[in-house]
Each structure stands twice: as C-alpha cells, then as structure tokens.
Amino acid sequence: MKGGHNLATTRLFALHVNKGKTITQTIAERTDYVSNPDKTRKGELVTGYECSPNTVDAEFLCAKKQYFDITGRDQGDRNVLAYHIRQAFKPGEITPELANEIGRELVMRFTKGSHAFIVATHIDKSHIHNHIVFNSTTLDNMSKFQNPLRSNKIIRRISDHICLENGLSIIENPQPSRGHYGTWLGENKEPTWREKLQILIDDVLAKKPADFFVFLKMMEMEKCTVKHGKHISIKMEGQKRFTRLRSLGEDYSEEAIRERISGKRANPPRRKTAISSKPPKVNLLIDLQNSIKAQDSPGYAHWAKVFNLKQAAQTLIFLQENGLDDIEKLIAAAQKAKDDFNGINTRIQSIDKRLGEITALQKHIGSYSKTREVYIAYRKAEYSKKFLAAHEGDIATHKAAKQYFDSLKLEKLPTIGKLKTDYGELLGEKKKLYSGYRQARKHMQDILMAKQNTEQILGHQDTVKEKDMERV
C-alpha cells in the first residue's frame, strides 16, 4: 500500500518536560491522554508491562528518582522523560485486541523488554491505532534508553515485520507527518460511485457523441441504467442507487453535458484516474501482501510447506526497501546482482591467474640467473658429457627456464623489480575487490532468495521456467 504525501506511520517521539509544567504534570498529561476511557473502551484496551496503567505516572517518576539516587545524573532540559510510539492499522483489518497485542510485541522487541510501558489501543476513529508510552529509565534504574540513529526506520521495520507475520497490510513508502491513517490511502483509495460516474461520463464524451440522446445510449452500452423524469438519473452496474446528473457537479448536469457535446463548454481537466479496459499494472508489494494474507490461496498453501510468515515478512521488507514494486523490476535487479557479482568474481579470478604467472615467472627468472654462468661454461665446453654429468641439475634447471620463457613468447624478460611492482598493485586491487565481492555476493543471495520466495508465493515459478526454456 502506497502512502500519500501526508502519510503517518509508526513513529517515535521523545517526551521532554512541557514548558511551564513539572515532570509529574508532563508524564501525567501524556499517560492520561493515551489511557482516555472514551477511546479505550473504558480502559479495557490499556495494558501495562512492569507497571500498572492506573499508576503508570507515579511508577515512572519513582524509577527516575531511583536512577538519580544511584547515578547522580541530571540532564536538565535535555532530559527525556519517556518515549511515545504511535502505530496505526488499516481500517477494518484488525480487532482492537490483536492491535494491542501487536503494540505490546512491537515495544518489547524495540526495547528488548528493558523498559516499563503501557499500550493503549484507541478505537474512537475509523482506523484502530495504538499509543505506546515507555519509560526512558531502564527497569534496573541504572541507565536510560539510548535512542538509536534512524530510530523511526528501525521501529517501522519491526512493526512491518510483526504486521506481516499476522497477515496485516503495511505501508510501502511511508513519509513522516502528523496525519492519521485516513491519509495513508492517498491515490490508492477506492473511487466513490460519484467519482466513477464522473470518470465514465468524461470517457463517453471523449468519443464525441452526436447529441445528448446518443450520449445516453452510449452510457447504456457501458452497462449503465438511465432513468428519465424531471431530472435524468444514472446508475452504474453494481451501484445500488441512481445518481442525478445535476448532483455530480456543474460540469455534469444535463445542460452542461449538452453544452460540452455542442462545444459551447470546455471539458474539465482529465482526471489522473480513468476507467479503462486495460488493467492497471499490479504493484508487486500489494500483490505479495494480499497473497500472504490470503492463507487459503493455492499459492500460499504451496509456499507455506517450505517457508513461514516470518520469512514472508523478510521478503516483503527487502522488496520494499529496495524499491522492487513489480516482478519485472525484481527479475531485472536479480539479473543485475548476478552480473555484478560475476563481474567481480571474474576479475578476481583473472588477478589470481596473473599473480600465479608472476610468481612462476619470478621463480624461473631467478633459476635462470643462478644457472646462467654454468650453462655458458657448458656451451664453452662444447656440451661435454663429462661437464653435463658434473652439472646436470643446474643445466636441466636452466633449460627448463628457457623453455618456459619461449612458451610465453616474451620478446624481453621483465625485471624482478617490475614484477614485484605489478604483483603489489594486483594484490592491492584484489584486496579492494574482496570488500565489494562479499557485499555483492550477499546482495545477490538476498535478492535471489527474495525472487524465489516471491515467485513461489505468487505462483510465477512456472511462468519464469517457461520463459527460461524459450531462451534455450
């Protein structure tokens, strides 16, 4: 599910002392707000860990006093009293009880169970959401929570994993804001019947009907029912009630449509969304989410024999973080990952081969130099058998070195100094490549595993195999 510009997702906020308030008042105000009985089914949906929801503010304060007594540390205005997490869910997809359990699991994983907290599940909006407040002081009163860099990304990742493990939707590209789940749907929100009818009218008028009567006939051909009377009303297929043209806006009244047909009125700007016989491109992340949630689907049944929901969550998060939102991108990225790894691996093998050649060449050059004087004396002795018998080993070594040089077809032997320089440069290049090699191998393994998991759960495996067979 894509997020709109004002998307709000699971987020972490640090709670400092409010201006003009005491520490006691600041903590009490926040915990009272999240525990509001009107929002939490009279407090039934407020749960605590290592503290009671009824006395959470006093318990937090007691822990802070003990922390100060033990450590003597006081950060003044920079002191973080507690942390507040907001976590929302797609409307109609989760029960308040499960939402509370997921909120509890989220903060347990994030804090590793080292901090007291309360989870308050609010049901006063169309979207069920959690407010989680955890004490900045640890349970042993010895230290405080160390808020990591990019903490919102970390906590969102944990939340996404838990949601996917429970078959729930997540947000593809969340953007920070103060909005609520109502803004999450963005352009993916299902158009209303009114919007669908406006779009269809625009499409029909784009075909330039001769007059208003022809326009109505063309609407009927689009499986609409037209009701005549004092005011023309139209009902699309699947729509329960008729909609009067005059209620659709100034560009869609009977008079306006007649003027648009005659050219007396300009058509309104075309909408981004249009009804088309051509199906929209499926978003892989949404498709995968739906498949994971549809636990009775054949794709899920086949996939679940080998894998589990935690692996599904890891796959979906990997695709999300790498922007792989359709199967073509995933296939292309997997191929690129293989090509990148193979390119590095080929270069390393080439360097290893050259290093071996340099080592062998150095060895033969050394042997050639050491036995050169002996071989010259052998030639001066006119290849005497007696001389050969006395120096057979050196002469054989010298001949072997010369044969090796001849096999390389070298016009001139390189110096030992030059070979050492080349060897050092190649060794340095290989060392640098190895860092990229490990990263490229890990990325390739991750993306190939994600591709395999995705194809199996979505049922693309057979299609891909058929394409591979066509290439052979």
What's the pLDDT at 171? 62
Distances (CA, A) of 467 to 49, 326, 455, 460: 54, 17, 13, 11
* Range 249-276 burial, b when 16+ CB lie within 10 A, else e: eebbbeebbeebbeeeeeeeeeeeeeee
- pLDDT class for 310, splitting at 50, 70, 90? low
Whether the Cβ atoms of residue 142 and residue 115 lie closer than 8 Å to each other = no
Q: What is the model's pLDDT at position 46?
A: 96
Segment 18-22 mean pLDDT: 85
For position 278, what pLDDT does the model report? Answer: 41
Q: Which residues are within 8 A (CB) of 147 and not within 5 positions of it... i.e. 6 or more apart?
A: 12, 14, 80, 83
182 or 343: which leads in pLDDT: 343
Distances (CA, A) of 97 to 171, 225, 228, 245: 21, 44, 50, 45
Q: Residue 262: its pLDDT value, please?
A: 92
Task: Kindly tell me if the per-residue pLDDT of 188 is higher than 50.
Answer: no
**Backbone torsions φ then ψ of 119, nearest 5 degrees:** -120, 120
The three-class DSSP label of residue 173 is coil
Give the span between the Cα atoms of 153 and 159, in whole angstroms.
Answer: 10
Question: What pLDDT is recorded for position 304?
Answer: 52
- May I ask the CATH architecture of the domain 11-187? 2-Layer Sandwich (3.30)
The whole-number pLDDT of residue 163 equals 81
Specify the pLDDT at position 178: 44
Rounded percentage of the chain residues whose pLDDT exceeds 90: 38
Of the candidate ranges 157-171, 324-338, 369-383, the one whose mean pLDDT is the lowest: 157-171
Residue 358 β-bridge partners: none
Pull the structure tokens for residue 392: 């057979």
Judged against a pLDDT cut of 50, whether residue 186 lies above it is answered with no
At 37-93, the pLDDT tens digits run 999 999 999 999 999 999 999 999 999 999 989 998 887 777 899 999 999 888 777
Confidence of residue 1 (pLDDT cuts 50, 70, 90): very low
Q: What is the mean pLDDT of residues 446-451?
A: 82
Interval 178-183 mean pLDDT:
44
What is the structure's pLDDT at 100? Answer: 94
Give ∠ CA 81-85-90 in degrees, rounded to 5. Answer: 165
Question: What's the pLDDT at 207?
Answer: 87
- Rounded to an integer, the average pLDDT of 356-373 is 91
Q: Which CATH class is domain 328-467?
A: mainly alpha
Evaluated on CA atoms 139, 143, 144, 148, the torsion sign reads negative
Q: What is the DSSP letter of 248?
A: G
Pair 224, 231: CB distance under 8 Å: no
pLDDT at position 311 over 80:
no
Beta strands in 94-240 (DSSP E): 117-122, 129-135, 225-227, 233-235
Cα distance between residue 127 and residue 3, in whole Å: 15
Confidence of residue 201 (pLDDT cuts 50, 70, 90): very high
pLDDT of 472 strictly over 50:
no
Secondary structure class of 376 (helix, strand, coil): helix
Sign of CA dihedral 465, 467, 468, 470: positive
pLDDT of 237 higher than 50: yes
**Which of 185-189, 238-242, 301-305: highest mean pLDDT?**
238-242
Predicted confidence (pLDDT) at residue 264 exceeds the cutoff of 80: yes
pLDDT given at position 376: 92
DSSP letter at 149? T
Q: How many residues does the chain have?
A: 472
Alpha-carbon distance of 132 to 87, in angstroms, equals 8
**Which segment of 234-248, 304-318, 400-414, 421-435 scores lowest on mean pLDDT?**
304-318
Q: What is the pLDDT of residue 308?
A: 59
Of the candidate ranges 147-156, 229-238, 295-304, the one whose mean pLDDT is the lowest: 295-304
Region of poorest pLDDT, from 128-137, 311-320, 337-346: 311-320
Tokens 């359709």 — which residue? Answer: 326
Tell me: pLDDT of 118 over 90.
yes
Question: What is the reported pLDDT for 6?
Answer: 30
- Does residue 211 register a pLDDT over 80? yes
Confidence band, pLDDT 50/70/90 cuts, at residue 294: low
Question: What pLDDT does residue 324 have?
Answer: 81
**60 or 182, higher pLDDT:** 60
Q: What is the pLDDT averaged over residues 129-137?
A: 95
Query: Residue 13's pLDDT is what?
Result: 87
pLDDT of residue 185: 42
Q: What integer pLDDT is reported at residue 235 of this predicted model?
A: 93
pLDDT score for 309: 62
DSSP H or E run through 49: strand 46-49
Give 314's pLDDT tier (boundaries 50, 70, 90): confident
The predicted pLDDT at position 8 comes to: 36
**Angle, to 10 degrees, between the axis of helix 309-321 and the axis of helix 151-165?**
140
Summary mean pLDDT of the chain: 81
**Given the structure tokens 């050492």, which residue do they identify?**
420
Q: Report percent pLDDT > 70 for the chain.
A: 81
- Domain spans, the chain: 11-187, 193-262, 328-467
Evaluate if pTM is beyond 0.95.
no
